[in-house]
Amino acid sequence: MTSQTTLAGPGQQPGEPDRPDSQDGLQAGLKNRHLSMIAIGGVIGAGLFVGSGAGIAAAGPAILLSYALVGAMVVFVMRMLGEMAVARPSSGSFSAYADRALGRWAGFSIGWLYWFFWVVVLAVEATAGAKILESWIPGVPQWAWALIVMVVLTATNLVSVGSYGEFEFWFAGIKVVAIGAFVIVGLLAVFGILPGSDHAASGLSHLTDTGGFFPEGPGAILTGVLMVVFSFMGSEIVTLAAGESEDPQRAVSKATNSVIWRIAIFYLGSIFVVLTLLPWNDPSIVEDGSYVAALNAIGIPHAGQVMDVIVLTAVLSCLNSGLYTASRMAFSLGQRGDAPKAFAKVNKRGVPQAAILSSVVFGFVAVFFNYQWPDTVFAFLLNSSGAVALFVWLVICFTQLRMRGIILRETPEKLIVRMWLFPYLTWATIAMISFVLVYMLTDDAGRDQVLLSLLVAALVVAISLVRDARARKAKAAVPAE
């Protein structure tokens, strides 16, 4: 693929040839409709369908404020990332930008941590999908379904980036249509105008009629934040995929500008519908899941089976995108010399085959750990990758603080998307993310995630610093010889 920018990479002077990660051999096989749906569907994870019930039970109607706070944080992070990605589309996205702005150690560390996060997600999603499929066809064991799902989506990613885009287009399309229909039908039922429904028109009364809007106290908003923050991970995928599109600047600009309404409709809109259809403490919200409980309240037949299909679609979408994202990050690391060189090679179809296979192999190993040692080895993998999403967002913030000056100095004409109220809103976002990390230390489950994730992050940073020190030593020894 021809380089889209002239922004100098790490160690370069303006005007010198770009670093390899923008002349990477990847094919521009993603169409605009693929990028649009990846952008829209990327923010809808399986966690929204599966985990929202627990959040509602913990915070009551105030969970809406939890979703709004995290949603605002994601909007700001995406705006910063969009600013950098429009100026310099790259398959390494924020890892490549951190490499340029903060140093090789930062690009290496956050790139590998992000890769680690997604290969663990592969195991989680494969297992979740296998459970649903086994409930439909119990004759096939769960581990076999997990294997089948992983093999099929690996084959899809190996064929071409276009096949990944096509699968994701339909997976994301189903999620988008399902949530859109849920919001519309739910609102009609709330106000008593849904044809054929016997649901009593409750209006907005359920938001306050069971203990008020803050039934568990205002502090429950923060508890809700911890429970919902990780369901937003994945919104940044479009900036990695943009590097393989025909018009990356346009795709990233569009995705960045639309993230506000996407979060407003899909997250706040759907949770609002659940909270207005049912009292927040209705046992069915936790027992059946928030969306199934809402559909049952409306009188939609076979609500559980309908939601199983939608959740399976969300799981397959996340698995498909997770494999794509992990492989492209591994590919970019290979291009920058931070991973084996084989990761940076593409086959005749423009696909980084070694990067894909290495990512899926680790995913298979993680699936095995999940079945063999779910409460020890796999629990460690989950917890040690649990806070990586927040680390990634922090790095994006600090990177954007430096990259703004670099872009203005070297290629100011490429500063098309700008972060609002720079640098004040960037610093405010850093403070918000840092507060969430600190608050997680007060939560039993959150504490393990933060501490173990910090341990893994420290190990990766240490490896990076040792590599850099050896490289400098070797370089200094050349003239002496």
pLDDT digits (tens, 9 = 90+) for 87-146: 888 778 899 999 999 999 999 999 999 999 999 888 888 888 898 899 899 989 888 998
Task: Report d(CA 327, CA 323) in Å as an integer.
Answer: 6
> Which residue type occupies 401?
L
Among the residue ranges 14-28, 38-52, 382-396, 450-464, the one predicted with the least confidence is 14-28
Residue 100's nearest CA partner among 440, 331, 398, 431 is 398
Residue 43, pLDDT score: 66
Whether 18 and 335 have beta carbons less than 8 Å apart is answered as no
Residue 20 has pLDDT above 70, yes or no: no
* DSSP state letter for 30: B
Mean pLDDT across the stretch 36-51?
74
Q: For residue 327, what are the CA distances in angstroms to 22, 109, 415?
A: 16, 16, 28
Residue 6 has pLDDT above 70, yes or no: no
Banded pLDDT at 184 (limits 50, 70, 90):
very high
Map 225-236 to HEC letters: HHHHHHHHCCCC
Residue 2 has pLDDT above 50, yes or no: no
Buried b (16+ CB within 10 A) or exposed e, 406-442: bbeebbeebeebebeeeeeebeebbebbeebbeebee
Residue 480, pLDDT score: 54
Whether 415 and 406 have beta carbons less than 8 Å apart is answered as no
Residue that is written with structure tokens 């423009």 in the block: 350
Beta partners for residue 30, in sequence order:
245
pTM for the complete prediction? 0.87
Residue 160, pLDDT score: 84
Task: Report d(CA 182, CA 160) in Å as an integer.
Answer: 33
Banded pLDDT at 226 (limits 50, 70, 90):
confident
Residue 368 phi, psi dihedral angles, 5° rounding:
-60, -45
Residue 192's nearest CA partner among 205, 177, 178, 209 is 205
Mean predicted lDDT score pLDDT of the chain: 85
Mean pLDDT across the stretch 386-400?
92
